[in-house]
A and B are shown apart, each in its own frame.
Chain A
Amino acid sequence: MSISSERNVGDILIIDLTREKVVKREVSPETVKRYLGGRGFNSKALFDMIPGRIDPLSPENVLALGNGTFAGTALPMTSRLHISTLSPLSGILGDGNAGGEFSAMLKFAGYEQIIVTGRAQKPKYVFIEDDEVEIRDAEDLWGLTTGETVDWLRDEHGDEVSVAGIGPAGENLVRFATTMVDKYHSGARGSGAVWGSKNLKAIAVIGTKGVEPADPERFYEMAKEDIDYFNRNEFVKRIYSVIGTHYGLIQWYPSWKYFQVPLSAEELPIGLRPQDLAEYEVGRTQCFSCPLACKDVYYLPSTGEYGTASEFESIYALGSNNCVTDTEAILRMEHMADEYGMDVMTLGDTIALARLLHEKGILSREELGGVSLEWGDAEGQIELIEMTAYRRGFGNKLAEGYRNFAKLYGEEALAYCYDVKGVNRGWYEVDFINGIFTLSHATSTRGADHLRGRSWAYWENDKLMDIEAVRRMLEADLPDYRKDPVGALIYGERACTLADSLGRCKGSINSWLQAVPLVWKYPVFKGTAMLLTAFTGMEFTEKDIIDATDRIYLTEMAFNVKQGIKKKHYDVKFPPEFTATERAKAQVRRHWELVDEYLRRRGCDVETAYPARETLEELGIGYVADEIEGKEFPEWDGPVREVA
C-alpha cells in the first residue's frame, strides 16, 4: 500500500478564496517522514507561504487545518484537528487544537490538510463530500452562532456532516475568536478572526472512504492494546471519565482574583468544586475514537440550553480568576463563548485584567461607559461577554485581547500584563518546579502556553495515573531528569509536537501516558515508531521521530523570527510589586541562564535566538536558514495592523 494512496495518507486541499479555486496536491512519502502530519504539516506550510510580517487579518494570511497522521483509525484519541495561522492575537505563530469528529471525517474524505488563502468577496462556506469540493454562498449563515451554523449545515447536508467554523466573534474579528468544531470543540489563539477576515464561515465535510494501514494486523494489534490500557486503568475509570478536567480544580491551583492567589483544594469555594459542577451534568461525551469521556454534557435550567465541556480552563478563567463563584453563571458564560466562538482563557483573563486596571485606577469609570467591573459580578460579566463578541462599547476594547487591550492604556497597564509573546498565562515564580514552568512559557512557539511541553516536563499528572509506567519511562530515557530541567523540557516539547502532529490528544489532564501512544509499554518514542512503521509502510526509528519533532519546532521558531521575535521576547513577567525585589531579580537571572542553556541545546544562536544554520542543515532544512540567516526583521510588538 503506497503512502499517498487514498486509504492511507490523503491529499492536501488548497482553497484560494480570492479566485474561488480549489487545488488538490498529493503528499509525498518524504514529507510524511519529515513532518509527520497535523501541526508538522501546518507549521511548514505557514513558514513556506507567509513571507514576513503581514497583517494577520489581511488576505495574505494562511489558515491551515491538519488532521494528524492517525486520524480515523482505531488508535484511540487520534481525532484532534490542528488549526494554524499567523495569530491576530499575538502576531506570531498561532495554532490551536480541537477535537470533535472533523479530523476523522476529513481523513475519511481523503484529505490530510486544508490550506485556505485569500479573501472571498462575500460570505462563503466550503462543502466537502469525498472528492467533491464546493465553495458555496454563506450569506444565510453569516451572523449565526456556532450551534446554529452546525444545525443549518446538518439540515442542508445531512446529520453525518462534521463542521469547523466560526460564530459572531470570528465574523467581528475578535482577536481571540476560535475555530469551533461540531459546536463545542475549540481551537484557540485567534484563528476564528482569520476565518472572519477571509469571509469564510465554515467548512462542512462528509467522508465515506476507509483508512487502511500498510500492515493492518500489526497496527490494529497495537491500537487495541492501547484501547485496552485505558479501558483497564483505574484512574481513568474512576476519575478521568467521571470528572474530566475538573480534576484540575483539585490539583492545579486555579487562580483567584487575577492571579493573586492560587487556590488549593481546601480553599476551593463552594460553587467551583467538581461536585458542584456535576449538579448540572446530564451525561458525558468525548471526541471521535476516544475511550475516555472527559467532557461533561450540562443542562442550564435558566435558559434551557445544553452545553459541553465545561473544562478547568473555563472555570478558572471565567470563574475564580474573576472571583465569580456562581456555578450556573460560569457554565452559561462558557456556553456563550462556545456559541460566539471565543477562547475562554483569553476572554476570562482579559476581563480579569480589566477589573484589576479598574481597581488600580488605570482604567477610568468614564472609559467603561456604565459597565460594572466589580470583582465577582457574574451578571455584568455575562453582559461583557456579549459586548465583546459583537465589539459593542467597552467590549470593542476587550475584543482586542489581553496584551493588545493593555496596550490601549499605556505602560502602566502593560506592567500588569503577564504574557509571553502576546499570549496570556498568568505569572509564576521562576523556581517553581526547577524553573521549568516559566521557561516553558518563554520557549513555547505560540506564546505562553501549558500545552507546548510544560506539564510533560515534570510529570505533573502521570504520577497518579500509572507510577510504574512513569518510572520505566524515566529510567529508559531521562535518568538525570532531576538535575536537568532543560533536557526535561525539550523532551516535553517533543512529546507535544509529536501528539499535535499525529492528531493524538495530549490528554484532558496533560499526561505522557495519553499524549504519546504506547509510552506505558515502550521507551518514549518507540511505540510511536512501531505504529508509524505499521501504518505507513515506511521504516520509522525513534531518531526519525525526534528529528521530525525538532524539525517542526525549529521551523516554528524560524517563523517567529520572521515575525520579529528576538531573544528579549523569551522573558518572564512578574507583577510590578514583585519585580523590584531582590528575590525577583535573582529569579530573572536564573531564568536567563536557563534560556541560554535551552537555546544552546536546541541548536540556536544564544545571542539572537535564531535557529543556527548548522542545526537546520543537520535536520535537512537548510532552506529555513537561507530565509533568516544574517537578516534583520523589525522587532515584534504585537500583531501588525494595516490600518492604524
Chain B
Amino acid sequence: MFVLAVIYENCTGCHLCELACSFKHHGVFDLSLSRITILTKPEVQTSVQVYCLQCQDAACERVCPVDAISRDKNGAYIINYDRCIGCRECAYACPFGAISFEVEARPIKCDLCEGEPECATVCPHDAIVYMEEKKAVRELKKAKAAGVAYGLYGGKETSEYPRKKAEEAVEYLLELVEKSGELDV
C-alpha cells in the first residue's frame, strides 16, 4: 500500500503543492480549492501541512449518513457526489481539518489523484512523498532522527548542520568555478 506523507522538516512553505492540487482538480490556481493546505510562519520556519491521511478507521466514512464515502483501490477515501447531500458531517468529524466545503456546498478532500498525487510531483524539497508505507515510515523516522541529532548538537545556538551543508556547497561551488574556466561560452 502506497501512502502520501509529509516530512514537515523539509517543507519550506512555497505553496506550489496547493497551486498544483487546485489546478489538477479544478483547472484553476486557487488556494481555497486545494486539498492540501500549508499554513506558514516563515519567520520561525514552521509550516503546518493540513491534508488527508486516509485513516485506517476513517471518521468521515463512519459519520456520513448516506454512505457517500468509500475507499478506492489506492486506499483513498472518495466522495460519491451522486449520494452526497452536503451536510458537512465529514468535515466536522475529521480530526485533521482535511475536508473543506468550497464548491456548491460539496465537500472536497484528497483523492490521491488516482495513484499519482500532483502535490508530490511538484514539491521541490521532497517534503511530500508518495511511497510504499514501510518506506514512508522509514523516511519519516530518518527525518525525525536528523532533527533530534541536530538538536543534540546545540540546536539554534550552534547549528552544526547548516554549517556543514554550507561548507559542502562552497566546496562544490569552487569545484564548478575551477571547471568553468575551461568552459567556453
Contacts and interface: CB of A to CB of B under 8 A. Distances in A.
A301 B19 contact: no
B141 to A, nearest CB: 21
Contacts of A286: 12-14
Contact of A463 (B33, B162, B166, B183): B183
Nearest to B118: A224
Given A285-B12, A286-B12, A459-B185, A278 B42 contact: no
Contacts of B33: 210
**Size bin of chain B's contact surface:** 35 or more
Contact of B22 (A210, A273, A278, A297): A210
Contact of B29 (A74, A147, A208, A296): A74
Interface in B127-185: 156-159, 162-163, 165-170, 172-174, 176-177, 180, 183, 185
A335 to B, nearest CB: 11
Nearest to B45: A283
B29 A72 contact: yes
B80 interface: no
Given A224-B122, A464-B177, A285 B28 contact: no
Contact of B169 (A104, A231, A239, A283): A239
A207 to B, nearest CB: 9
B29 A212 contact: yes
Nearest to A159: B39
Interface string A225-247: 00110110001001101110011
A180 to B, nearest CB: 13
Nearest to B157: A301
B12 A227 contact: no
Contact of B173 (A76, A250, A306): A250
Contacts of A220: 23
Contact of A274 (B32, B125, B158, B166): B166
B29 A246 contact: no
Nearest to A287: B14
B31 A279 contact: no
A576 interface: no
B39 to A, nearest CB: 7
B173 A289 contact: no
Residues of B contacting A: mostly: helix
B82 interface: no
Interface in A169-216: 182-184, 208-212, 216
Given A293-B125, A308-B42, A275 B27 contact: no
Contact of A235 (B39, B158, B165, B176): B176
Nearest to A217: B27
Nearest to B167: A275
Interface in A269-293: 273-275, 277-293
B185 A467 contact: yes
B185 A216 contact: no
B106 interface: no
Nearest to B155: A282
B174 A265 contact: yes
Q: Which of B20, B45, B172 has the most CB of A within 10 A?
A: B45
Contact of A279 (B44, B122, B159): B159
A76 B172 contact: no
B159 A282 contact: yes
A634 B16 CA distance: 50
B88 interface: no
B27 to A, nearest CB: 5
A390 B20 CA distance: 45
10 contacts: A74-B16, A104-B15, A108-B31, A183-B43, A210-B26, A210-B33, A231-B124, A239-B169, A291-B124, A463-B180
Interface of B: 12-16, 19-20, 22-23, 26-33, 39, 42-45, 121-122, 124-125, 156-159, 162-163, 165-170, 172-174, 176-177, 180, 183, 185
Given A250-B177, A291-B124, A464-B173, 18 more contacts: A108-B31, A208-B31, A211-B29, A212-B27, A239-B173, A241-B124, A241-B125, A246-B166, A247-B173, A251-B173, A251-B177, A274-B166, A275-B170, A279-B159, A285-B45, A286-B14, A297-B42, A463-B183
Interface of A: 7, 72-74, 76, 104, 108, 147, 159, 182-184, 208-212, 216-217, 220, 224, 227-228, 230-231, 235, 238-239, 241-243, 246-247, 250-251, 265, 273-275, 277-293, 296-297, 299, 301, 306, 308, 459, 463-464, 467, 470-471, 474
